Chain A
Amino acid sequence: MNELQREYPEEIERILAKYPPENKRSAVMPLLYLAQRRQGYIPPQAIQEIAQILELSTTEVASVAGFYSLFHEQPEGRWRIQVCTDLPCALRGADEFLKRLCEALGVAVGGTTADGLFTVEEVKCLAACHRAPVFQLQGDGEIKYYESQSIDTVLALVEELRCKAESKKEGA
């Protein structure tokens, strides 16, 4: 048993049960999500562990991780604020929203705040074009939508998450 298996025995079993046993390679993406849950990115060791579980080469697992934009191989902020600036949103002020958010947080697009908590990213259409400006928040193994946003609402969220991070630290 490797570390991933020790940490998430039930989840791994539940994931593998979804696919015919001879096609267990299908579990690679769900397992990558699982591996990403703890640190917000997929460390090389996890790639090896997934390869072991699925009887694949590490290259095969690493290439899947590299292909998809929601898998991250580098540590960034704990939460990624991913703002859609695709065409329909851009027609409704998304570029301006992104610019003002970056200014308020003191980062460039792709940059991470000094406290290491937030990375601001630009993403493609999120299927929420009628409620621009919109962003998704990826972090702690979750992805959540925030629609019809303003600078005030996003900054309130940032504050809330900062408090959450703070109280964890104190509790620890």
Chain B
Amino acid sequence: MKEHILLRHRDIPDLHRLEVYQKHGGFETFRRAVTTLKPEEVLNEVKASGLRGRGGAGFPTGVKWSFLPNNLWPHYVVANADESEPGTFKDREILESNPYQFLEGLMLASYAVQANLSYVYLRGEFWQIARHLDACIAELEAAGLLGEHLFGTDYSLRIYTHLGAGAYICGEETALLESLEGKLGQPRLRPPFPAVYGLFGKPTVINNVETLANVPPIVERGASWYRTYGTEKSPGVKIFCLSGCVNHPGNYELPLGTTFRELIFEYGGGVPAGRKVKAIMAAGASSSLIAADENALDTPMDYESVQEKLGAPLGSASVIVIDDSVNIAWLVSKTIEFFKHESCGKCTPCREGTFWMNRIAQRIEHGKSAPEDVQLLEAVASQIQNKCLCALGEFSIMAVLSGIQKFRTDFEAKVNG
């Protein structure tokens, strides 16, 4: 793309400095919103843009904001900077290099739902980023852009960072809230949903970092401008995280609807010499495995097409490329190991299921198993399905079931030694 909308720091040097961000129009949108727009005008613009959550579920952002009841106060906004899905590293780039655009998005979201206190929940590993964000927030307070009675109005806003401490499950929004409340990071039963009963039991919006970074340009330039990118149902741009067996792994900001082929070959420089793409994971470790045939490579990466044509969710668009040197039974043992490690232990099917899948997968991987083990693994995975409190349980079996189904010979090669 000619111009970056989210990764603007790639076009503008030093954009992480407040004066540079402001020189390029930064915080003018926030000022205009607070001084001249009603909260619902901001909300309606975001709704009209069709922006969908970039944390994985793709839920329409403006619609989510509109769920907060106006008879229950206070409201909170929490930015989800937990970014722990294997293969995902986009929020980190925004936070490190374009932090003010993210913060302005969080501030606009807070204004739209009239929250006076908002938090950024960062994974503990982002300790350096949190220190840096704290400094940005202090600068905004000093510049009169955060604090009491902003621009002489009666709107006030404070933002604080909060560090997690190494738990993938805290990216799940209700586990995140528990963690932010000082408890174990374990998901809550729903309903009630966070829009009604969220942080400290109050109505709460939780949005991903990338989602929020989209908000300032949308409010500044308008919904119809935003819709010139992407597809009808998946409008706008997305940061695709490209990793695994490619020549140029990295973040690529592209319109939704870009094909896998363009991302992997045009931007990613293809796979290392002499290799072929064998499989693709579109949503990090939580992906269904996609067999990389011509049809798959030509599939546009938007929320609908990937699901409908390939039966796999696009999720956070963390595209892991797997070449033909990789055995899928090994890959599956890796993803299982991850989910076993990260299961929060609250429900039995996920806790026990990931434990047993791991045992079997390790056995298969190390050539110590009988052919029945592949069926056993499939059976254990099926027993986890639809029985879990949160989506982690479902994520844990995605690669397992699709892997066995589409790459059975890889498993057979291991078990028949």
Binding site for B on A (CB under 8 A): 18-20, 23, 25-30, 32-33, 54, 63-64, 67-71, 86-88, 90-92, 123-131, 136, 142-145
14 A–B contacts from the bound complex (CB under 8 Å) = A23-B182, A29-B162, A68-B185, A70-B125, A87-B244, A88-B86, A124-B86, A124-B168, A126-B125, A127-B84, A127-B92, A129-B87, A129-B89, A129-B244
Please determine whether A125 and B85 come into contact, CB atoms closer than 8 angstroms. Answer: yes
- Give complex CA distance A70, B185 in Å: 13
Contacts of B87 in A (CB 8 A): 87-88, 125, 129
Interface members, chain B 160-218 (any A CB < 8 Å): 160, 162-168, 179-185, 200
Please determine whether B166 and A26 come into contact, CB atoms closer than 8 angstroms. Answer: no
Among the listed stretches B62-70, B333-341, B408-416, which one makes contact with chain A, having 4 or more residues with CB under 8 Å of it? Answer: B333-341
| Total number of residue pairs linking A and B with CB closer than 8 Å | 133
Give a binary string over B320-350; 1 marks a CB under 8 Å from any A CB, 0 the rest: 1010001000010011001001100000000
| Closest CB in chain A relative to B282 CB, distance in Å | 13
Q: Across the interface, name the chain B residue whose C-beta is closest to A25.
A: B182
Max count, chain B CB within 10 A of own CB: residue among A27, A69, A91, A123: A91
Q: Across the interface, name the chain A residue whose C-beta is closest to B81.
A: A127
Please determine whether B163 and A86 come into contact, CB atoms closer than 8 angstroms. Answer: no
Please determine whether A64 and B322 come into contact, CB atoms closer than 8 angstroms. Answer: no
Known A25-B182, A28-B182; judge A124-B128 contact (CB<8 A): no
Please determine whether A130 and B251 come into contact, CB atoms closer than 8 angstroms. Answer: yes
| Closest CB in chain B relative to A126 CB, distance in Å | 6
Closest 5 CB pairs of A and B: A68-B165, A69-B166, A130-B249, A25-B182, A70-B166
Is B243 close to A, CB under 8 A? yes
Q: Across the interface, name the chain B residue whose C-beta is closest to A134.
A: B89
Please determine whether A25 and B181 come into contact, CB atoms closer than 8 angstroms. Answer: yes
Size of the B side of the interface (Cβ < 8 Å), in residues, is 50
Interface members, chain B 74-97 (any A CB < 8 Å): 83-89, 91-92
| Closest CB in chain B relative to A121 CB, distance in Å | 11
| Closest CB in chain A relative to B121 CB, distance in Å | 10
Contacts of B179 in A (CB 8 A): 29
| Closest CB in chain B relative to A150 CB, distance in Å | 17
Contacts of B85 in A (CB 8 A): 125
Please determine whether A86 and B182 come into contact, CB atoms closer than 8 angstroms. Answer: no
Known A29-B179, A67-B184; judge A87-B251 contact (CB<8 A): no
Contacts of B127 in A (CB 8 A): 142-144
- Give complex CA distance A129, B338 in Å: 15
Known A18-B160, A87-B87, A91-B245; judge A26-B124 contact (CB<8 A): no
Is B398 close to A, CB under 8 A? no
Is B357 close to A, CB under 8 A? no
Please determine whether A88 and B320 come into contact, CB atoms closer than 8 angstroms. Answer: yes
Please determine whether A130 and B184 come into contact, CB atoms closer than 8 angstroms. Answer: no
A sample of 13 more A-B contacts (CB under 8 A), given A29-B162, A130-B241, A142-B128, is A19-B160, A20-B117, A23-B181, A25-B182, A63-B184, A68-B166, A71-B165, A87-B320, A87-B338, A91-B244, A124-B84, A127-B92, A143-B124
